[in-house]
Structure 1
Amino acid sequence: MMGSSPSLPARKIRNLSDSTGFSTEQIEILHRRFLHLTDGKSTMSKSSFDNIPDLDNNPIKSRIVNAFFDGRNLGLQSNETVNEITFENFLSTLTFFQHVDNHHPKEELEYCRTEKLKFLFRMYDTNGDGKITLEELREIVDELLSKKSKTDKTSSIADAAMLEAANICVGEMEADQLYEAITFHDFLQIMQDLKIESKMHVRFLQMDTTAMCK
């Protein structure tokens, strides 16, 4: 039938459901969306994300997109970037955006929270050295402000954020103390009150896939 899309084998869908936590129905929908984004190809490039309107207004769109191609999120040993990802890669990264409610066991909720925060931390730790430096923090603020020409404002906000991070993680700083970067341990302290379990979700992937569902 014209406009139809190839479906995944039932066994593969079940295996993906077991490994990712997505329901079989969700996997089928996401597979159709994957094919919609790639024009039916079996692999996806970064340019495919240009077809997601909800991402266009996101100030950290590039970081979100890059996360799907970051080796650290794909089970690789380094932070190298890959050029193409498969549907399985796409789905495994989407697991970080799954909504988790409070009905899950405490241990599972804590694990999910930590994994989401690791993913978020990696988005900001662009060079993969395990730390968010002041320079990386300035880049984040710059993107959030979307005003790259106003470097003074960016620097002052980033400097204040780094100082606040220092106060949270090591207490009041002495005049001669230097807080160089935010480690993941520090990041956990800073984000301890954030309900990350429900903040990260897949809403940005909503799109009209009618053509792919016929």
Structure 2
Amino acid sequence: MGAAQSKSKQQQDLQSRTDFSWDEIKHLHQRFRQLSGGRPTLRQDDFLHIANLQLNPIGSEITRAFFDKRNLRKGTGGLADEINFDDFLTIIGYFRPVDWAVGSGSEEVERLRKEKMKFLFHMFDGDFDGLITLDEYSNVVEELLYGGRRAQKEKDSVRLIARSIAQGAMREADAVSSRPKDASKEYPGISFEDFLKTWQGFDIAANMQVSFLNLETINH
């Protein structure tokens, strides 16, 4: 009786912290065990077997985001060597649609949207300094455009296009930034506040829905 009550409390705690249903949690735990080979933790190498990530042009950035301590709410920078199942659920939560929270009110929906935006911001901000520099923005855009699928001779032109897109994003962010304007000083990089302003019309809820409940691995 006591063990059953304890288990029920653990279930309730996990559900309240993650907002997943118990069926979803059980399903995700199966996927976690599949990826880890039965180990209690995951390493970045384990994500190499996920077919969907291998086909995604920014699969490496997404994988890295799973180990970003900022996303795990375990610090302001750096990568964790391994993540446990609770960590896994924390990251998967960023990809959930916000529809389920609509009844909670507009403030809760906005909070969840901001969390998704921060996750996306961290994918650009590779050096953990709280700013997206021109080079960082260019690198992610280049991955999206190039994706390793084009001929090598096209890479230079793709890099130029990515740089141009990144420069445009920097100019837009600088224009909406509340920092004091000084023509003699170059815009240092996009802060999270500026990032929110420039991506204001972006439907983050629709674009960050990944079917991790149907996560598939490559069989060897």
Give TM-score scaled by structure 1 length.
Answer: 0.83
Q: Which residue of 2 aligns with 1:195?
A: 203
Q: Secondary structure at the residue paired with 2:28?
A: helix
| Structure 1 residues 54 and 158, CA gap change in structure 2 (3 angstroms) | same
Q: Secondary structure at the residue paired with 2:190?
A: strand
Which structure shows the higher helix fraction?
Answer: 2
1:68 paired with 2:99, answer no
Aligned match for 1:167, one of 153, 156, 175:
175
Q: Which residue of 1 aligns with 2:12?
A: 14
Q: Secondary structure at the residue paired with 2:38?
A: coil
Q: In the alignment, is the contact (CA less than 8 A) between 1:169 and 1:190 conserved in 2?
A: no
| Structure 1 residues 207 and 90, CA gap change in structure 2 (3 angstroms) | closer
Q: In structure 1, how many angstroms separate the alpha carbons of the residues matched to 2:194 and 2:141?
A: 19
Aligned match for 1:46, one of 21, 44, 47:
44
Q: In structure 2, how many angstroms separate the alpha carbons of the residues matched to 1:169 and 1:29?
A: 43
| Structure 1 residues 148 and 57, CA gap change in structure 2 (3 angstroms) | same
Cα root mean square deviation, aligned: 2.5
Percent of residue pairs identical: 40
Q: Secondary structure at the residue paired with 1:73?
A: coil
| Structure 1 residues 195 and 22, CA gap change in structure 2 (3 angstroms) | same
Q: Which residue of 1 aligns with 2:149?
A: none
Amino acid at match of 2:196: L
Amino acid at match of 1:117: M
Structure 2, unmatched stretches of 5+, are: 1-6, 147-153
Q: CA deviation at 1:97?
A: 1.0
Q: Which residue of 1 aligns with 2:117?
A: 117
Give TM-score scaled by structure 2 length.
Answer: 0.81
Q: Which residue of 2 aligns with 1:133?
A: 133
Q: In the alignment, is the contact (CA less than 8 A) between 1:52 and 1:205 conserved in 2?
A: no
Q: In structure 1, how many angstroms separate the alpha carbons of the residues matched to 2:43 and 2:54?
A: 17
State the aligned residue count. Answer: 201
Aligned match for 2:164, one of 156, 162, 175:
156
1:144 paired with 2:139, answer no
Q: In structure 2, how many angstroms separate the alpha carbons of the residues matched to 1:205 and 1:140?
A: 26
Structure 1, unmatched stretches of 5+, are: 1-8
Q: Which digits, 9 at most, give the CA deviation of each residue in 1:192-214, with x for residues without a partner? A: 112223321231552358x9xxx
Q: Secondary structure at the residue paired with 1:192?
A: coil
Q: In structure 2, how many angstroms separate the alpha carbons of the residues matched to 1:127 and 1:71?
A: 12
